[in-house]
Amino acid sequence: MHDDRQLIEERLQRALRERIRPAVYGAAVPLDIEVWHAPGEPVSPAEALAQTYEPAAIGLPWGPAWGTAWFKFSGQVPAEWAGREIEAVIDLGFSGGPGFSAEGLVHTTGGRPLKGLHPRQTYAPLSILGPDGTAAAAGDSIEFYVEAAANPEVLGDAGGFSPTTIGDKPEPGGKPIYQLTRADLAVFNAEVWDLILDLEALDGLQRELSLQEPRRREILRALSRSLDALDYEDVAKTAADARAQLTDVLSRPAHASAHQVSAVGHAHIDSAWLWPLRETRRKVARTVSNVATLAEEYPELVFAFSQAQQHAWVKENYPEVWERLKKAVAEGTIVPVGGMWVESDTNLPGGEALARQFVHGKRFFLDEYGIDTQEVWLPDSFGYTAALPQLVKLSGSKWFLTQKISWNKENKFPHHTFWWEGLDGTRIFTHFPPIDTYNSDLSGRELARAQRNFQENGAATRSLAPFGYGDGGGGPTREFVATARRVANLESSPRVTIESPTEFFSAAEEEYAEQAPVWSGELYLEIHRATYTSQAKTKQGNRRSEHLLREAELWSAAAVVAGKLDTYPYAELDRIWKAVLLNQFHDILPGSSISWVHREAEETYARLGAELEAIIAKAQQALAGDGSSSIVFNAAPHTRNGVAGLGAAVAAAAETPVSVANGVLDNGVIRVTIDERGLITSLYDVEAAREVIAPGAVGNLLQLHVDTPNQWDAWDVDSFYKNNVRDVTEVDSVDFSTVDGVATVVVKRSFNRSTVTQTLRLEPGAKRVDIETEMDWHEAEKFLKASYPVDVHADRSASETQFGHIFRPTHQNTSWDAAKFEIAAHRWVHVAEAGYGVAVVNDSTYGHDINRTARPDGGTTTTIRTSLIRAPRYPDPKTDQGVHTVNHALVVGAGIPEAISEGYRINLPERVVTGAEGVAPLVTIDNPNLVVEALKLADDQSGDVIVRLYESTGGRSRGTLTPSFATTSVTEVDLLERHLADRDLDGGVALDLRPFQILTLRLKRS
């Protein structure tokens, strides 16, 4: 037989495009149109419907970027259409894909939301267009409204990453960017629609089969016969005949050994990205309305809906949609998943913040639905911390799902179903869908890829496929669910069953748990490494908010327990935590959203900071009382300057003074030499009798790189950035002085369009150099780093992560090692050889690169570089322009314990309050390796004290926790403060923690 494959495939594509798809709708009558253009931000349906509407027509320009138009559509259904399927077809002028372009929400005349509209879902069935969302019939008059959102195409043509100002919050008076294209009542030709799905399902499948497979040729022949049976002049009349030619190839069952796909409806909705937070509220309402309406037609639909924040938005803003959502959850159609407040980034949030993601997320689902979610759902975050498995388990969950690791650039991840082992040894059953997308359309191409790609073939048989339009929401459509029916049991394709994530995980774990491989440590994403640095003010706001929340909880709890305050600020802290957690979403905190989002985040952090400062000041003043003494409050977990951790005391006298002479800063512990360029040429550790700065090198060297990644500008830094570097050694001035007993050097530099002022400080008795860097930054596509080359032979570095630290290689032995050319760390990084180490601590940065080089003298230089600031141009061309101040410290002779304590010190500076007395810590622990991360009153408002602590050094640690208040009992609880075990109380609580173990205790006050 001659090979006519290409001829048939091309014939089919043109027939679908030009003949068959246009025939889905038959007879049509236009709807009457009226419009009201909202003048600014979105308004409620009640307010919109009360406005005066103007007559409009097809072709009407509408919607300046980010604007809203409310359309009123009305008409009469022709009586002669009785017995036929009828739909309103509304095309708002879509120019892009679902979730990224104009979107609409259909409302009744009473303002009740009914169904979303987007570029692949332009219809509203007659079954919901009657009075108050009831069914209408032939001969009836209908009237409904559409709230149309003019979301611009920020992504640009083909994802070109071109700089654009369209992501700014708009000024009034913008030009319309869309035109209303269609508004009709039309007859829906279901047979034609079914034919399209038959043809697409088979064509997608056969294209994935090898050319030699008989099944591929059989499908091709059937497709050809189907087209032969179709009369292009009357597609609707002959569609049934065309479908009949496909019956045989569609009815053949899957092979007995076929892979099993659990398909779950999904709509990945970024809580902010190329749109602001306020738009996501509307996206969620549109998507939930779509799903609830679709489930009425397809009762087998199961939809996984993550992010408690998005559920909360529905409850707060759309009461009618909330009632539909609760009903769908109760019926099992919509399944809450994830157990987190948002799908957060996991590299950058602090330990307690990541714990609170689970606390607030799971508690919302428990309180509102009575559901204790079991799976953590993070398909799109930019890498996954090794702290997650323990936090997942302590939250009461047991499964984990991600998709993003399929984006790895250098190495293909070796597993799809596996046990993920965290830094403390906790393991959770994890799945990584081989379909390689969280927005599947269940096409033959995607299903075949899932079957081929599944790494566990031969040992396991199941994978999960989230299907539906996503990123900007939308969710599954009737086409997707109907396709699932067609491929449920189809020869050469996997078997497909629509079911919940819980059903999938339960079956997968039962089948494969004993054989599943183990992946230990972080899930490092080999792309999007610049998210550790982009949008510095957003990251700084997050870090500061986390530590202010720690202080507000600590001192408020101490004041209430001491009887100095009557009430603990439960409501205020709950609200503030949720706002901070929202901004940890994986496109906000990483710095990959539009300008509007990040400017709003900065405003939020400023407001929250002021509120938290007021809460802290009120509690501290109550504790200190009336007096004239200077009381030093130490919120860090370790004693410093004579003040106990978590306590307060009268300020101690200053230690031995420092000296400044001939460019040398000396406090008797370390000597720092600064040259005429303002660079550290020597850092001598007196006690260890060794030079810290590597021979021939200089410390605190600013290095400027050209930073032009191939794509994903705000997200990516490509390894070739290192090929173009400029050492910034020019200096405007270098001034030495002693300020309040502290040796100080102020270095001012100018380069390109930017200036940097650095203040280096050496305090009495300190084994560190503090470096404050103020940058007035006006660069484009540049990357600024600060370099610290030290004379230490280290083959690995330690980086603080949530509730512990992880080690990463400083060499590039393998492609996995080389891929980690930029790494994330929290408050500190540390390098060491046997007997000696150096740490760099920070108060608001995350990105680092750490490498080593061999010297001619035979020694090794290990260079720590901190990433200070970037200047990507997409999606926010103004990224990081302006003034920024960050703080670092170079700590010498430091082990891991010193790195930990110095990291807390720089993030929790001492506060001085004028008062009468100090404050005993609420709890003390006699082992500094056991670190208190949170101290607060219980969320149930019982007055119990909650202490969360962890083993910080990576070894087994024992100690005793002693409360300073009368305590009747102690229990071990999970993150949600639910009982796990009783603990003995004999004057104190005996502690015996494994490496990096997290322990939460509830202390009941007498």
Task: Tell which wins on pLDDT, 95 or 559.
Answer: 559
Sheet holding 782-790, edge to edge: 725-728, 701-706, 782-790, 860-870, 847-854, 823-824
Contact 922, 965 (CB under 8 A): yes
Pair of tokens at residue 979: 């009982």
Name every residue whose Cβ is closer than 8 Å to that of residue 720 and which is 6 or more positions away in sequence.
none
Residue 501 CA to residue 888 CA, distance in Å, equals 44
Residue with tokens 């990096």: 996
pLDDT of residue 96: 77
Minimal CA–CA distance to 499: which of 298, 296, 297, 302?
A: 302
> Is pLDDT of 616 > 80?
yes
Pairing relation of β-strands 998-1005 and 945-951?
Answer: antiparallel
Q: What percent of the chain lies above the pLDDT cut of 70? A: 99
At 914-965, the pLDDT tens digits run 999 999 999 999 999 999 999 999 999 999 999 999 999 999 999 999 999 9
At 301-359, the pLDDT tens digits run 999 999 999 999 999 999 999 999 999 999 999 999 999 999 999 999 999 999 999 99
Name every residue whose Cβ is closer than 8 Å to that of residue 772 and which is 6 or more positions away in sequence.
758, 759, 761, 885, 886, 887
> Is pLDDT of 54 > 50?
yes
| Angle 11-13-17 from CA coordinates, rounded to 5° | 120
Contact 283, 472 (CB under 8 A): yes
- Give the mean model confidence (pLDDT) for residues 3-18: 95
Which helix (H) or strand (E) element contains residue 362?
Answer: helix 351-369
DSSP secondary structure letters along 512-578: HTTT--EEES-B--SS-GGGGTSSHHHHHHHHHHHHHHHHHHHHHHHHHHTTS-S---HHHHHHHHH
Confidence of residue 159 (pLDDT cuts 50, 70, 90): low
> Is pLDDT of 655 > 90?
no
Minimal CA–CA distance to 76: which of 126, 116, 111?
A: 126
- Give the mean model confidence (pLDDT) for residues 212-233: 96
Confidence of residue 158 (pLDDT cuts 50, 70, 90): very low
Residue 263 CA to residue 467 CA, distance in Å, equals 7
pLDDT of residue 171: 86
> Is pLDDT of 626 > 90?
yes
Residue 947 CA to residue 1001 CA, distance in Å, equals 5
| Angle 553-347-977 from CA coordinates, rounded to 5° | 40
- Give the mean model confidence (pLDDT) for residues 115-132: 94
DSSP 8-state assignment for residue 644: P
Which helix (H) or strand (E) element contains residue 749?
Answer: strand 742-751
Residue 564 CA to residue 557 CA, distance in Å, equals 10
pLDDT of residue 654: 65
Q: Which amino acid is at 492?
A: S
- Kindly calculate the radius of gyration of the chain based on its CA atoms and give it in whole angstroms: 31
- Give the mean model confidence (pLDDT) for residues 674-687: 97
Name every residue whose Cβ is closer than 8 Å to that of residue 384 and which is 6 or more positions away in sequence.
346, 378, 402, 522, 523, 525
pLDDT of residue 2: 76
Residue 661 CA to residue 671 CA, distance in Å, equals 11
Name every residue whose Cβ is closer than 8 Å to that of residue 834 and which is 6 or more positions away in sequence.
none
Query: 3-class DSSP state for residue 1006?
Result: coil
Pair of tokens at residue 265: 């409806």
Q: Which residues pair with 829 in a beta bridge?
A: 799, 840
Q: What is the overall mean pLDDT for the chain?
A: 96
Q: What percent of the chain lies above the pLDDT cut of 90? A: 95
Confidence of residue 657 (pLDDT cuts 50, 70, 90): confident
Minimal CA–CA distance to 533: which of 721, 407, 678?
A: 721
Q: How many Cα atoms sit within 13 Å of 167 on the Cβ side?
A: 30
Q: Which residues pair with 804 in a beta bridge?
A: 801
DSSP 8-state assignment for residue 211: T
Q: Which amino acid is at 656?
A: T
At 457-468, the pLDDT tens digits run 999 999 999 999
Contact 581, 603 (CB under 8 A): no
Minimal CA–CA distance to 336: which of 307, 366, 314, 305?
A: 305
Burial of 911 (C-beta count, 10 Å sphere; 0-12/13-18/19+) = middle
Residue 109 CA to residue 106 CA, distance in Å, equals 10
Minimal CA–CA distance to 717: which of 580, 534, 885?
A: 534
What is the phi-psi region of residue 192: left when phi exceeds 0, alpha when psi lies from -120 to 50, beta otherwise? alpha
Name every residue whose Cβ is closer than 8 Å to that of residue 583 and which is 6 or more positions away in sequence.
538, 541, 542, 589, 601, 604, 605
Q: How many Cα atoms sit within 13 Å of 201 on the Cβ side?
A: 30
- Give the mean model confidence (pLDDT) for residues 986-997: 96
Taking residue 685's Cβ as centre, other Cβ atoms within 10 Å add up to 17
Pair of tokens at residue 1001: 């205790």
> Is pLDDT of 97 > 90?
no
Angle of helix 351-369 relative to helix 570-582, nearest 10 degrees, comes to 110
What is the phi-psi region of residue 492: left when phi exceeds 0, alpha when psi lies from -120 to 50, beta otherwise? left
Confidence of residue 153 (pLDDT cuts 50, 70, 90): confident
Task: Give the 3-state DSSP-derived string for 830-881, with helices as H, strands as E and coil as C.
Answer: EEEECCEEEEEEECCCCEEEEEEEECCCCCEEEEEEEEEEECCCCCCCCCCC
Which helix (H) or strand (E) element contains residue 934?
Answer: strand 930-937
Helix residue ranges, H only, 867-983? 896-907
pTM tops 0.95: yes
At 229-282, the pLDDT tens digits run 999 999 999 999 999 999 999 999 999 999 999 999 999 999 999 999 999 999
At 399-448, the pLDDT tens digits run 999 999 999 999 999 999 999 999 999 999 999 999 999 999 999 899 99
Provide the residue count of the chain.
1006
CA quadruple 329, 335, 339, 345: dihedral, nearest 10: -130
- Give the mean model confidence (pLDDT) for residues 95-123: 90
> Is pLDDT of 528 > 50?
yes
| Angle 17-19-23 from CA coordinates, rounded to 5° | 105
Pair of tokens at residue 999: 């322990």
Minimal CA–CA distance to 78: which of 32, 138, 123, 37?
A: 138
CA 719 vs. chain centroid, Å, equals: 24
Contact 745, 665 (CB under 8 A): yes
Residue 477 CA to residue 290 CA, distance in Å, equals 8
Residue 75 CA to residue 627 CA, distance in Å, equals 78
Give the dihedral sign, CA 241/245/250/252: positive
> Is pLDDT of 157 > 60?
no
Active site residues: 380
Contact 496, 299 (CB under 8 A): no
